[in-house]
């Protein structure tokens, strides 16, 4: 593997000054090109640039979209819930579509529908790499089908985009990996470093049956920290403040769904109390929304590291903000100034802090009967510097006064907080809605002596960016640590490696990952984006195969 030798680049004419200390805090490795397999990489790169390959790729992705694989919340175990059976036809489709993968790699099915493919390397002393994706997709609301430009399971290619549920999330990742490996096998490549592919089947429902079982299987089979690195779906790259940035998810927020339930006496609605359980619940929820979590930019977090990359390389970042970021290393005042400026971007602020969203409500059974109970579920995405315990403590405290005002006995996460005055009007209970709360993920090293895997990913991203766009000048993409806005199957793989990256090499332009129809109508992906993902997986595998830094 060799470096193209560009070193840290300053694209779009932005030049570093001697006062720009942030550049030292956002080091950029040179683009990495395979050395041992340079000829293969070059040959495949030329093929990926052809219309013929584009046609093959979009048909492979479209074919996968045409096999519906919906997963749902609160499904019964495999074997008890017939809805899991949709994955059997998808397995048959993969077997037929990728014959060389199935004849060359060892396939183990975990919990019936989880797929683990192992491509053994010739040097068993090298830790293998783990590349993951998920088979399932978010269900399509039947009432929204008529709103789709093309039917949600058509896999239709209109000459620019492949349309359909899963085209972006995440069959593009799964089919991209399978296409890459199939192509490498047909090209005669034999890995030195082993490659494992792992595909869960209920990522959209927290991976409790798929990735959880796969994680346990891999841990039992290979042991802790058995893999050199792991790459799963996640960040992409786009233009920020006049510079192309690729944000690699080196951390992931925690997750907790808090159920808020109010119980009160029933009766006939013709003689109503001042407040029904639904009315009380409404007051509690309004109070929560009027008191959002306070986001705070903190040193040492991935999003703080991202600010240094903005200050070092973004030409359109306001100079006041740039200087505040540079001084924030030692100045708390400067940190707060930078925070205030950057939080004008609502998405950036949401990625930094803990968020809350009231997503589910229920209560009452009949219009002339007082509701004996009412409930809501509040979704929390927990900041990387917080914890499940911290959000439980905060939610408990913020509702305590209202519990007293409405004369409710108050129990929070199994602990009685307060008793109501006699006679009690009712009760307020906070609990974990599904029992699936998740602490924030461990942070993957992106600097220092243990950052070899991050540098490998970053160098690969830079190479693919330049190769796919046929860049010959100084233009480059800046690679930055960051976080994934949602949660992925990696939550079940923490013990397998300390180098976990959530990154889908896809150009999003001025559209975020969550605005491309993901989880809603008209999900689609540009054919060129999908080919670039294949180019990324190919380059990553070849670079990792000869790396001495992972």
Is 139 domain-assigned?
Answer: yes
Q: Is 395 annotated as a binding residue?
A: no
Asked which of 100-109, 128-137, 430-439, 468-477 is least confident by mean pLDDT, the reply is: 468-477
The answer, yes or no, to whether the previous bond of 170 is cis (omega within 30 of 0) is yes
Is 85 domain-assigned?
Answer: yes
Each residue's pLDDT tens digit, 5-43: 444 333 333 333 433 454 578 999 999 999 999 999 999
Per the model's pLDDT, the better-predicted residue between 199 and 3 turns out to be 199
341 is catalytic: no
228 and 279 in a common domain: no
In this structure, what CATH number is given to the domain that contains residue 62? 3.40.630.10
pLDDT on residue 6: 40
CA distances from 56 to 48, 161, 258 (A): 10, 14, 46
Domain span at 211: 38-239+482-545
Angle at 265 between CA 264 and CA 267, to 5 degrees: 135
The answer, yes or no, to whether the previous bond of 423 is cis (omega within 30 of 0) is yes
Backbone phi, then psi, for 48, in 5-degree steps? Answer: -65, -20
Give how far the C-alpha of residue 337 lies from the chain's centroid of Cα atoms, to the nearest Å. Answer: 29
In this structure, what CATH number is given to the domain that contains residue 423? 3.30.70.360
24 is catalytic: no
Each residue's pLDDT tens digit, 101-153: 999 999 999 999 999 999 999 999 999 999 999 999 999 999 999 999 999 99
Helix locations, 153-223, DSSP H = 171-186, 211-222
Q: Is 275 annotated as a binding residue?
A: no
268 and 145 in a common domain: no
Whether the pLDDT of residue 187 is over 60: the answer is yes
173 and 129 in a common domain: yes
**Structural domain count of the chain:** 2
Domain boundary among 380, 408, 440: 440
CA distance 545 to 41: 12
182 and 79 in a common domain: yes
Is 50 domain-assigned?
Answer: yes
CA distance 183 to 181: 5
Angle between helix axes 277-290 and 388-405 (nearest 10 degrees) is: 130
497 and 365 in a common domain: no
CA distances from 210 to 133, 170, 199, 200, 483 (A): 11, 15, 8, 5, 23
Q: Is 134 annotated as a binding residue?
A: yes
Whether the pLDDT of residue 493 is over 60: the answer is yes
Is 247 domain-assigned?
Answer: no
User: Got the DSSP string for 244-298?
Assistant: EEEEEEEEE-EEEEEEEEEE----BTTS--SS-HHHHHHHHHHHHHHSPPPP---
Backbone phi, then psi, for 284, in 5-degree steps? Answer: -65, -40
* Entry pTM: 0.92
Is 110 domain-assigned?
Answer: yes
Q: Which of 170, 182, 203, 395 is catalytic?
A: 203
CA distance 486 to 488: 7
260 and 155 in a common domain: no
Mean pLDDT score of the chain, rounded to an integer?
93
222 and 363 in a common domain: no
160 and 124 in a common domain: yes
Q: How confident is the model at residue 1 (pLDDT cuts 50, 70, 90)?
A: low
Q: Which of 136, 202, 257, 395 is catalytic?
A: 136
395 bridge partner residues: none
498 and 436 in a common domain: no
Is 106 domain-assigned?
Answer: yes
487 and 423 in a common domain: no
pLDDT on residue 257: 96
Asked which of 74-88, 284-298, 331-345, 418-432 is least confident by mean pLDDT, the reply is: 418-432
262 and 222 in a common domain: no
Which pair of structure tokens corresponds to residue 340? 């205030």
230 and 114 in a common domain: yes
């Amino acid at each position: 593997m060799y470096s193209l030798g560009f070193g840290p680049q300053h694209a779009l004419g932005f030049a570093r000054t001697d006062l720009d200390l942030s550049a030292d805090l956002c080091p950029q490795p040179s683009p990495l090109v395979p050395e041992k397999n340079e000829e293969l990489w070059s040959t495949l790169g030329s093929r990926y640039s052809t219309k013929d390959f584009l046609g093959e790729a979009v048909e492979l992705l479209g074919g996968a979209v045409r096999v519906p694989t919906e997963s749902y919340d609160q499904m019964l175990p495999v074997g008890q819930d017939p809805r899991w059976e949709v994955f059997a036809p998808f397995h048959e489709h993969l077997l037929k579509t990728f014959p060389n993968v199935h004849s060359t790699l060892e396939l183990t099915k975990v919990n019936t529908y989880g797929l683990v493919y192992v491509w053994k390397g010739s040097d068993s002393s090298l830790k293998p790499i783990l590349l993951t994706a998920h088979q399932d997709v978010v269900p399509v609301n039947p009432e929204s089908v008529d709103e789709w430009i093309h039917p949600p399971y058509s896999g239709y290619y209109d000459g620019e985009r492949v349309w359909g549920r899963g085209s972006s999330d995440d069959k593009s990742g799964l089919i991209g990996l399978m296409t890459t490996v199939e192509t490498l096998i047909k090209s005669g490549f034999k890995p030195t470093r082993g490659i494992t592919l792992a595909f869960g089947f209920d990522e959209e429902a927290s991976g409790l049956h798929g990735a959880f079982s796969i994680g346990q299987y891999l841990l039992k089979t290979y042991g802790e920290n058995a893999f050199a690195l792991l790459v799963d779906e996640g960040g992409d790259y786009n233009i920020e403040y006049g510079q192309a940035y690729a944000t690699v998810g080196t951390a992931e927020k925690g997750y907790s769904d808090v159920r808020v339930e109010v119980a009160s006496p029933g009766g006939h609605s013709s003689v109503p109390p001042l407040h029904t359980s639904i009315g009380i619940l409404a007051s509690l929820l309004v109070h929560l929304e009027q008191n959002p979590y306070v986001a705070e930019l903190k040193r040492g977090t991935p999003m703080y590291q991202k600010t240094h990359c903005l200050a070092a390389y973004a030409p359109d970042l306001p100079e006041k903000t740039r200087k505040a970021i540079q001084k924030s290393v030692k100045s708390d005042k400067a940190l707060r100034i930078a925070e205030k400026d950057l939080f004008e971007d609502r998405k950036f602020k949401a990625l930094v802090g803990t968020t809350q969203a009231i997503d589910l409500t229920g209560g009452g059974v009949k219009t002339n009967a007082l509701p004996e109970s009412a409930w809501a579920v509040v979704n929390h995405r927990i900041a990387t510097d917080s914890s499940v315990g911290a959000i439980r403590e905060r939610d408990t405290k913020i509702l305590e006064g209202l519990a007293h005002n409405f004369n409710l006995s108050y129990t929070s996460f199994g602990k009685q907080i307060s008793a109501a005055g006699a006679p009690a009007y009712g009760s307020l209970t906070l609990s974990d809605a599904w029992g699936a709360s998740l602490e924030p993920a461990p942070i993957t090293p992106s600097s220092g002596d243990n950052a070899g895997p991050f540098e490998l990913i970053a160098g690969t991203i830079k190479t693919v960016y330049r190769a796919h766009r046929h860049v010959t000048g100084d233009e480059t993409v800046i690679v930055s640590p960051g976080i994934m806005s949602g949660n992925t199957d990696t939550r079940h793989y923490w013990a397998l490696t300390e180098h976990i990256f959530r990154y889908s090499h896809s150009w999003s332009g001025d559209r975020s990952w969550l605005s491309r129809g993901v989880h809603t109508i008209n999900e689609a992906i540009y054919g060129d984006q999908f080919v670039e993902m294949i180019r990324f997986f190919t380059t990553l595998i070849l670079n990792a195969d000869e790396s001495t830094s992972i």
